Structure 1
Amino acid sequence: MLTKMNNKKMDHLLLLIQSLSKSEKKNFKLYANRIKKNKNAKFIKLFEIMSKINSYQEKEILENTFIKKIQLSNMKAHLYKQILISLRRQQKHILENYDIQIHEFLDFAKILYDKGLYLQSLKFLKKAKVIAKCNESNTILLELVEFEKMIESQHITRSIYSRSGELSLESKELIERVQCHNALSSLSLELYGLYLKVGYVRNEKDKIFIETYFRTNLTKFDITKLSFYEKLFLYQAQVWYHYIRQDFIMCYRSSCKWVELFQNHEKAKKIAPVSYLKGYHYLLDTLFYLNHYSKFKNVLEKFEKEVQNGDIILNGNTKILIFMYKYTNRINKHYMEGTFSEGVKNILPSLFQDLNKISTRLDSHYIMVLYYKIACLYFGSGDNKNTIRYLLKIMENKEKNLRQDLQCFARLLHLIACYESGLDENMDRKIQSAYKFFIQMDDLYIVQKKIIHFFKNLGTFYPHQIKGQFKKLREKLIKYSDHPYEKRTFLYLDIISWLNSKIENKSIEIIIKEKFLKNHC
């Protein structure tokens, strides 16, 4: 099972060392020992000790390195810098790290310029520009052009008058392209931030705000003239926009364009693998919400095949995303099929094992989303004890700006799981707590109100009346399942299937499995 996570802030040096591969550790030792006098250096001993420990233990480090406590802070900073230098040296020779090559050529150009070797300086700028153009690195390309303009304007070089005009035109075009790039990337980032903070639109006010925000901040563009990255940011912004509005058909179309963009630019998969993975995830996510099982299954198989075949570069970032997207979508597949018990048996053991390895590098958002998925899987399998356990991890998280919607619906599922498990002592207090939280988050709408009101009054009925109350609640809620704003509750929690399970005296797993077989067989 998953070990208890350390809430204390992890040591940055230890996190960096833990992220190193075997080859990176080996190369660091070769780099550090290149100077004979370094062989017994304290920072190398510090590296060796910290490579063996799982959590930061200052006492153990001091005892095994002969480093004085007063020296430790500086020694750690020195080691941190040396590791980064070693990694930079290794990455210089990797094709995908084109930005490192560009900056190296730019550094050479500046050194030669300072020595008055202008023609040689321009040659390195030319080399850097070729790489920047090939990779659509317009921001650094503009810096290169501005430096070239400065050399041409201040010094006598090989250039003729027409060259100055060419550079001015090139600079103007780049400024326009960078402005378009920045406008689209900023819009994409800001919409994503809004989604992480509040989730889906909750009412007409939210809808008007997001639509107005999108329209006023979307720069004018000609799709045929946009570069790869400009198209990428445009499709990302469209995905977040439609996602927040719960328009999953439009979201599906934009996420398809996002993935196809990479599949039409194979080289981009290696340059921006994180964006490619995110596109795949949102394509799968929208198919899940649209309940399009056959397409979902096919896309998931393609995704896992690409990962297995090594078509996606593995590094610290992509390993985390592959972990998240692989497990969340495998769990979603079990949700759709109604095979919750199978998911608990076949997925969770490896999920917990892998999570323990990378938990210190996952941010709170990813962890809370994963906990909610795990809780729902347990709930569907009938394991209410573990459902409550993982919901409490979400509810007890005090981090600000952390998915208010997830926090709210965790509390709703918590009430249901407590009722199902028979842990209904202090139920009134739990109901009151959930109600207050919804009020505090400004997220108490019709469906939530009716569910909370149902639990509040459930204790006033005789046992033979309970089934009737479940039927009444189902009749009240079912008409909101397609409501523009109220339907978001049903995206987080299949409340209707749970009510059907109580009415028909069947497990929720059987109810969902029967519904799946009816629709897909």
Structure 2
Amino acid sequence: MANRFTDILFQLVKSLEKSEKRNFKLYIKRSSGNEDLKIIELFDALDKLQEYDEALLLRKLPSIKKPQLSNIKVHLYKQLLASLRLLKSTESIDMQLNEQLDYARILYNKGLYQQSLKILEKLKETAKSNYKYNFLTQVIAWEKKIETLHITRSMLEKGEVLSAEANEVNARVDMVARLSNLALQLYCLYIKNGHARNAKEEESVKQFLHDNLPANAHLQEGFYEKLYLYQSYNWFAFICQDFVKYYRYSQKWIDLFNEQPFMINVETGYYIKGMHNLLNAHFDLRNYRKFDETLHQFEAFAESPIAGKHDNHRVQTFVYITAAKLNKHFMWGTFTEGLSMVPEIEAEMAENEMFIDSHRILVFNYKIAMLHFGSGKYDVCIDYLQRIINNNVDLRYDLQCYARLLHLMAHYELGNYEIIESLIKSVFRFMAKMENLTIVEQEMFKFLRHSFNVSARKLRPEFEKLLQRIKLFEKSRFETRTFAYLDVISWVESKVYEKTMEEIIREKYLESKRKLEEDESNKLAS
């Protein structure tokens, strides 16, 4: 997907809502003089452009010469941010805290240090109740400065208290920093490399966790300490494909917010990410009912004022809920039904292009390709896979590998035998180079090579043999990623039982649902 938003000022203007644009115009009229008429002209011109074109922009602005444009753009950018800061100051606890701290500084500089101390004292309580320890360090530093430079009536008892508070807060800030660093580094490992491909890679991740996890991390009681600890174990388990542990820590992540609901408003982004991970855990474990319950809960949250307060939260909920709905079609075996989602997904992706990162776009293209493959629309599947294969983004080697494998299978289904032999060699080399070949994938390549020499009449027994071989690895941890990205077993079963892949997966879901209902009925009867 081409990026039409190449200029940062243009990006900012295009991200504004009607109310934000109106507020900006009022802000400029109140706070600026005639010299700012040019930034209004520039703002209006940018707002009307569909994509950034500097030559066209200058033609629309005869009062602005090319040498002036750069400075006027910088001035407009600053003024836009200033107006947004005023408009949005009540929407974020961090912005509110910073605003109050600015007031405390102003009062102090006016010599009104007692008034400044009162604001700082209130700030401290607010920061503590919202677990904003990084901010607390600034507040305590200002209190210490005032107490050091001025003789206050509380000086004698306050000095010891401030010293103790500073030590406690610094210790907590250090712990939060170490745990958040660990969570981020593990997440980056996954984004770059995907799941651990063998015991050696798993051991490497285990060692990394062991070397970087603070000794007393499990004893911490603070919200952020627990949040980053759960995140760390969450990503560790996901990388190692320990999906039970992945589920356990995803649930702990969300339970932390459920225990302190006000933190959903404070850290909305982390709550959204936690819900996404919990849905993924249910998907990986095929917890059909819990998946449905969690998805309904997430969809209800998406309609709440909290989720719609910021573009970032709105887009993230769209991305994660849409991914979950696609996963639901994969689990339920309703690929054809899922195709109806595609036009809406593409429209939303185009509308929110500058808010969605390239990694998410790759994932969506792969999931949409899977929908078409499962529906038997192999030619369209190939079109979507080409978007991934031709993408130069240095992310998700595993996704690149499975896109190529699915691409090969789609050509096999279409009977494009004249190019399959060269494709097999190309995909095999790519996956081997990335050290991404599992035993199941090697069996797939062997079968595809061998199938050229097998008549159509004898092909079904060969599929039966392949099914027997790969079924042995269905529960193998280092093979599960193959089945998570691409349900190879269901595809082979469709050939053995002469049904569509969609029918095979649908039957598995219905059988699982029947067993669950039967178990529940037996429990009630006993």
Q: Give the structure-2-normalised TM-score.
A: 0.93
In structure 2, the residue matched to 1:364 is 358
In structure 1, the residue matched to 2:427 is 434
In structure 2, the residue matched to 1:24 is 20
The answer on whether the counterparts of 1:378 and 1:387 sit within 8 Å (CA) in structure 2 is yes
- Displacement after TM superposition at 1:7 (Å): 4.6
In the alignment, structure 1 residue 396 sits paired with structure 2 residue 385: no
- Displacement after TM superposition at 1:116 (Å): 4.0
Q: Which moved more, 1:149-158 or 1:282-291?
A: 149-158
497, 504, 507: which one pairs with 2:497?
504
- Displacement after TM superposition at 1:28 (Å): 0.8
- Displacement after TM superposition at 1:248 (Å): 1.1
In structure 2, the residue matched to 1:107 is 102
- Displacement after TM superposition at 1:161 (Å): 1.7
In structure 1, the residue matched to 2:194 is 199
371, 374, 377: which one pairs with 1:377?
371
Q: 1:172 to 1:249 in 2, by over 3 A?
A: same
Residue aligned with 1:219, SS? coil
In structure 1, distance between residues paired with 2:464 and 2:50: 53
In the alignment, structure 1 residue 296 sits paired with structure 2 residue 296: no
In structure 2, distance between residues paired with 1:27 and 1:171: 40
In structure 2, distance between residues paired with 1:13 and 1:36: 20
417, 430, 435: which one pairs with 1:424?
417
In structure 2, the residue matched to 1:175 is 170
In structure 2, the residue matched to 1:33 is 29
- 1:324-373 deviation line (CA, Å, top 9, x unaligned): 1111111111111111101102x112212211101222111111111111
Q: Percent identity?
A: 41
In structure 2, the residue matched to 1:474 is 467
In structure 2, distance between residues paired with 1:288 and 1:444: 23
Q: Which moved more, 1:287-296 or 1:150-159?
A: 150-159
The answer on whether the counterparts of 1:273 and 1:313 sit within 8 Å (CA) in structure 2 is no
In the alignment, structure 1 residue 189 sits paired with structure 2 residue 172: no
In structure 1, the residue matched to 2:66 is 69
In structure 1, the residue matched to 2:264 is 269
The answer on whether the counterparts of 1:412 and 1:434 sit within 8 Å (CA) in structure 2 is yes
- Provide the aligned length of Structure 1 versus Structure 2: 513
The answer on whether the counterparts of 2:242 and 2:477 sit within 8 Å (CA) in structure 1 is no
The answer on whether the counterparts of 1:10 and 1:360 sit within 8 Å (CA) in structure 2 is no
In structure 2, distance between residues paired with 1:222 and 1:428: 53
78, 84, 87: which one pairs with 2:84?
87
Q: 1:493 to 1:16 in 2, by over 3 A?
A: same
Q: 1:36 to 1:224 in 2, by over 3 A?
A: closer
- Displacement after TM superposition at 1:35 (Å): 5.0
317, 340, 344: which one pairs with 2:339?
344
Amino acid across the alignment from 1:381: S
Residue aligned with 1:243, SS? helix
In the alignment, structure 1 residue 210 sits paired with structure 2 residue 197: no
The answer on whether the counterparts of 1:201 and 1:245 sit within 8 Å (CA) in structure 2 is yes
Q: 1:368 to 1:36 in 2, by over 3 A?
A: closer
Unpaired runs of 5+ in structure 2?
515-526
The answer on whether the counterparts of 1:101 and 1:128 sit within 8 Å (CA) in structure 2 is no
In structure 2, the residue matched to 1:54 is 50
The answer on whether the counterparts of 1:198 and 1:405 sit within 8 Å (CA) in structure 2 is yes
Q: Which moved more, 1:97-106 or 1:73-82?
A: 97-106
Q: Give the structure-1-normalised TM-score.
A: 0.94
Unpaired runs of 5+ in structure 1?
none
- Displacement after TM superposition at 1:520 (Å): 1.0
Amino acid across the alignment from 1:372: Y
In structure 2, distance between residues paired with 1:64 and 1:8: 19
In structure 1, distance between residues paired with 2:32 and 2:86: 19
The answer on whether the counterparts of 1:32 and 1:38 sit within 8 Å (CA) in structure 2 is no
CA RMSD, 1 decimal:
1.9
The answer on whether the counterparts of 1:413 and 1:493 sit within 8 Å (CA) in structure 2 is yes
- Displacement after TM superposition at 1:224 (Å): 6.8
Q: 1:38 to 1:439 in 2, by over 3 A?
A: farther
The answer on whether the counterparts of 1:201 and 1:207 sit within 8 Å (CA) in structure 2 is yes
The answer on whether the counterparts of 1:187 and 1:218 sit within 8 Å (CA) in structure 2 is yes
409, 414, 435: which one pairs with 2:407?
414
In structure 2, distance between residues paired with 1:223 and 1:241: 16
Q: 1:456 to 1:77 in 2, by over 3 A?
A: farther
Residue aligned with 1:270, SS? helix
The answer on whether the counterparts of 1:203 and 1:485 sit within 8 Å (CA) in structure 2 is yes
